[in-house]
Amino acid sequence: MNDRTRGTLKDGKPWPELPAAQDVDCDGENPTTSCRCVLGHHRGRHRDSSGAEWLDD
């Protein structure tokens, strides 16, 4: 088993954790309802908690 499969670097420190793209907040706001986008970092259509989709102008 190598260091990568154990999740540690050679100096014994754990591998850094990187946030998933969905963990990064999207700053999009539905222009009709002012509800925030719930998708996180993405390309294309935004979506709010009601399921409504929209594109940036």
Q: Is residue 52 part of a domain?
A: yes
Classified as helix, coil or strand, 8 is strand
Going by C-alpha positions, the residue among 39, 36, 46, 47 that lies closest to residue 23 is 39
Residue type, 16: P
Q: How confident is the model at residue 21 (pLDDT cuts 50, 70, 90)?
A: low
Per residue in 26-48, pLDDT (tens digit) is 999 999 999 999 998 888 999 99
| Residue 14 backbone phi and psi in degrees, to 5 | -70, 155
The total domain count for the chain is 1
CA angle 4, 23, 49 (to 5 degrees): 150
Q: Tell me the residue range of the domain where 46 lies.
A: 22-57
Q: Is residue 5 part of a domain?
A: no
User: Could you tell me if 39 and 49 are in contact, meaning their C-beta atoms sit under 8 angstroms apart?
Assistant: no
- Look up the pTM and report it: 0.57
